[in-house]
Structure 1
Amino acid sequence: MSLPLASSTLLARIAVEEPVTSHPVAPPLFQTSTFWAETPGCFAAMATQARHPAFYTRYGNPTTRAFEDAVAALEGGEAALATASGMAAIMVAILDVVGRGDHVVAQEVLYGGTVGWLRNLAPYLGIDVTFVDQRDPDAFRSAIRSTTRLLVLETPSNPMMRLTDLRAVTAIARARGVVTLVDNTIASPINQQPLSLGADLVVHSATKYIGGHSDLSAGILVGSAERIKSASDKACLFGATLDPFAAWLALRGLRTLPLRVERHNATAITVARYLSVHPAVAAVHYPGLAQHPEHALARDQMSGFGGVLSFEVGGGLAGGEAVVAGLCHAHRSASFGSFSTLVVHPAAMWAGMMTSEQLAASGLPAGLVRLGVGLEEPSDIIADLQGALNGMPACR
């Protein structure tokens, strides 16, 4: 006969029993910071196993592991590491490969946060960085030194939608023993799988298409089991790992990812074609357009062209701001991959991440507007753009 427990002890020992004869359709959320073991031997085994999924959530969690395994399968990788943000994944990936005295070759046009990290933090850590034109594989070849350890790529790149020839550049890197890291956020794992094109590591801001609902912040890194194990060790020391609730939300987003990306692809090409003939638009940057300079490359290494596009208007900073301000339904928001259309003026937004000299050197047009199309009816998105470009917003 067991002794009666005090109320505080009773409440501290509440547990939910897992069903024996039935199974949940949606994977359950393991919202716990730590796990207990039946015996000292079990505890010792849990504590010493690398990336144990049920010992301590900073090292691993069943919900997080399910998310990692799903993305690894989508990207064709052996393993994945979920992190607290896309930038956390990028930081962990870089610092797992390079250290003081090493050299990195990166594209000139990358996500602003990545550029900021490479320009401002890498030198502080004793890491040298050379930026090259992503459209020229020979530029990467020429920039590689004996101390080069990593190439940082993003294709399509944010926000100019330029492409990197992944087969050509990764072949150059492999021949020199250099690791390649590819930011695949804009393409999504549905439209492009860089590992199959020769990359060593792939990173996503899962905040974007993978999550898809604008309600989580997460990143994920995919690669070989050996590389992910090494990166995971550092992520745990940095405290950069993902919490289980965000992983559970990301799992939910993954279930509809192919359907959503198909809609984003179809809407973006429709909108891009409309913008390409509008008299107020000087240029449209979208790899799905036949006139895009890397359209043939996009057709070769992508199965879809994504839901992000950018376009240039006249009037510099003021012109770009006027178009963004004239949109009635698109949300002014620093993201993409959402159910709703999100718009930003990159030159204005990234001014806080770069000096004026760095911004000018990036080649970012002052009147560039980036559009991440949502799941709305394409005709409504076009009507919103028409009002803004013609100076007659529908909401006024």
Structure 2
Amino acid sequence: MDQERRDVLAQAELDTRAVRAGQVRTHEGEHAEPIFATSSYVFANAAEAAARFSGDQPGNVYSRYTNPTVRTFEERIAALEGAEQGVATSSGMAAILTTCMALLKAGDHLICSRSVFGTTTVMLTKYLAKFGVETSFVSPTRLEEWQAAVRPNTQMLFLETPSNPLAEIADIAAIAEVAHSCDSLLVVDNCFCTPALQQPLALGADIVVHSATKYLDGQGRCVGGAVVGRAEQMSEVLGFVRSAGPTMSAFNAWVFLKGLETLRLRMEAHSASALTLAKWLREQAGVEQVFYAGLPDHPGHALAVKQQRAFGGVLSFRVKGDRDAAWRFIDATRLMSITANLGDAKTTIVHPATTTHGRLSEEDRKAAGITDNLIRVAVGLEAVDDLKADLSRGLAAV
């Protein structure tokens, strides 16, 4: 992309950047982004090959870490998040692992919200710990716990907000101050909001990670991830991708590019339907409690209004009863998909305690509020009245 177009896009609104950022046309003059389905690239001569491999000359080297389609996606998600640089990965978990492996070392300490995706917790405690990185878990909403957990060797703070699945809202700006007071990095998983609804870097975070599998795609087609932030840190992140190979494919990058073009429109629609369903669920006799930050009495509502543009498409609720009651509810639905994925055009329903958070100990699930009667719904783009009817089927079975 020529510099003049880059300058125009830098001043453009989010919708325009979601459609145009990173786009580079080849000599064919194509309008849609092409898929560069190649593993390697041909050099004009040996000297050019040497210059490309050493980094002295810009250009493609090998698709494990340089591919034009992937680069377009990286530039676009970075533009949407207001970051200097983006790095694509093979999955959302690969994005988190890559960030930790690139920026932490043996002897370092990490502070993590206890309300994160269950696999994130497993990765930190079972695998990253093998390399000498210790993790402390704290409440996402109690700032004093973040402050008290800081040690001389603390190098990173990690959170997701809204949290999965209870929609707890962490104060990004306040936790960023804690991180920076001890010369640490704040990493925020922005999967549930996406840059269409929340921009953590503008609130003080240093790095944002994504499971592109979710809302960035929007139709449940591909698995992928992304890390965005300052060029200084992203150089290390890209270095890990180059060496270890958790690489996004060109085809998946192309699919995500198409998803980004409709991101804001979808996120607004998901949010509107989720809010309607959350309000409706609160009125149902078989529902014990609803968790959605769009509800005015949610503990994090005021903060969500401050740092988000809307409240997202994921809600959860506790039915009256035990695990069997929750399972009967889920099994009685006929429209919703029983799957752990989210961010899809199709509404999904799942039992967190035995799926997304099933590998956690009972003690850890209890600490995170993952009870046996909790159900998570990721609201899709179907008609709201049809979704209400399906939830009514579930309620009738409890």
Do both proteins adopt the same fold according to a TM-score greater than 0.5, normalized to the shorter chain? yes
In the alignment, structure 1 residue 299 sits paired with structure 2 residue 305: yes
Contact 1:51 1:60 in 2 (8 A): no
- Once the two structures are superposed, the pairs formed by residues 1-396 of structure 1 within 5 Å of their partners are 20=27, 23-49=29-55, 54-350=60-356, 352-391=358-397
1:50 deviation in Å?
7.8
Which has more radius of gyration? 1
Distance 1:45 1:351 in 2: 47
Residue 139 of structure 1 aligns with an amino acid whose one-letter code is E
Report the RMSD for the aligned CA atoms in angstroms: 1.6
1:28 deviation in Å?
0.6
Residue segments in structure 2 that go unaligned for 5+ positions in a row: 1-24
List per-residue Cα deviations over 1:299-326 (Å, max 9, x = no partner): 0000111111111112221111111111
- In structure 2, the CA distance between the partners of 1:150 and 1:26, relative to structure 1 (3 Å rule), is same
Distance 1:115 1:351 in 2: 9
1:75 deviation in Å?
0.3
Distance 2:109 2:317 in 1: 34
Residue 320 of structure 1 aligns with an amino acid whose one-letter code is A
Residue 316 of structure 1 aligns with an amino acid whose one-letter code is D
Contact 2:166 2:291 in 1 (8 A): yes
Distance 2:341 2:66 in 1: 28
Residue 32 of structure 1 aligns with an amino acid whose one-letter code is T
Contact 1:102 1:127 in 2 (8 A): yes
- In structure 2, the CA distance between the partners of 1:125 and 1:29, relative to structure 1 (3 Å rule), is same
Contact 1:53 1:62 in 2 (8 A): no
List per-residue Cα deviations over 1:120-178 (Å, max 9, x = no partner): 11222211111111111111011000010010111001011101001111011111101
Secondary structure, in 3 states, of the residue corresponding to 1:390? helix
1:55 deviation in Å?
1.4
1:260 deviation in Å?
1.0
- In structure 2, the CA distance between the partners of 1:51 and 1:328, relative to structure 1 (3 Å rule), is farther
- In structure 2, the CA distance between the partners of 1:360 and 1:53, relative to structure 1 (3 Å rule), is farther
Distance 1:19 1:176 in 2: 46
Secondary structure, in 3 states, of the residue corresponding to 1:122? helix
Distance 1:240 1:353 in 2: 23
Distance 1:210 1:351 in 2: 23
Distance 1:185 1:172 in 2: 22
Secondary structure, in 3 states, of the residue corresponding to 1:203? strand
- In structure 2, the CA distance between the partners of 1:300 and 1:28, relative to structure 1 (3 Å rule), is same
List per-residue Cα deviations over 1:97-128 (Å, max 9, x = no partner): 22211111111110111011122112222111
Contact 1:53 1:65 in 2 (8 A): no
Contact 1:202 1:221 in 2 (8 A): yes
Aligned length: 374
List per-residue Cα deviations over 1:64-92 (Å, max 9, x = no partner): 00000000000000000000000000001
- In structure 2, the CA distance between the partners of 1:178 and 1:300, relative to structure 1 (3 Å rule), is same
1:357 deviation in Å?
3.5
1:259 deviation in Å?
1.3
Contact 1:53 1:61 in 2 (8 A): no
% of aligned pairs identical?
Answer: 38
Contact 2:118 2:358 in 1 (8 A): no
1:19 deviation in Å?
7.0
Contact 1:307 1:373 in 2 (8 A): yes
Contact 1:151 1:181 in 2 (8 A): yes
Distance 1:356 1:304 in 2: 33
Distance 2:175 2:358 in 1: 31
1:53 deviation in Å?
5.1
Residue 273 of structure 1 aligns with an amino acid whose one-letter code is K
- In structure 2, the CA distance between the partners of 1:19 and 1:284, relative to structure 1 (3 Å rule), is closer
Residue segments in structure 1 that go unaligned for 5+ positions in a row: 1-17
Distance 1:51 1:186 in 2: 38
Greater shift in the superposed pair: 383-392 or 330-339: 383-392
Q: Please, what TM-score do these two structures have when normalized by structure 1?
A: 0.91
Partner of 1:10: none
Residue 386 of structure 1 aligns with an amino acid whose one-letter code is S
1:354 deviation in Å?
2.0
Greater shift in the superposed pair: 94-103 or 182-191: 94-103
Distance 1:115 1:50 in 2: 39
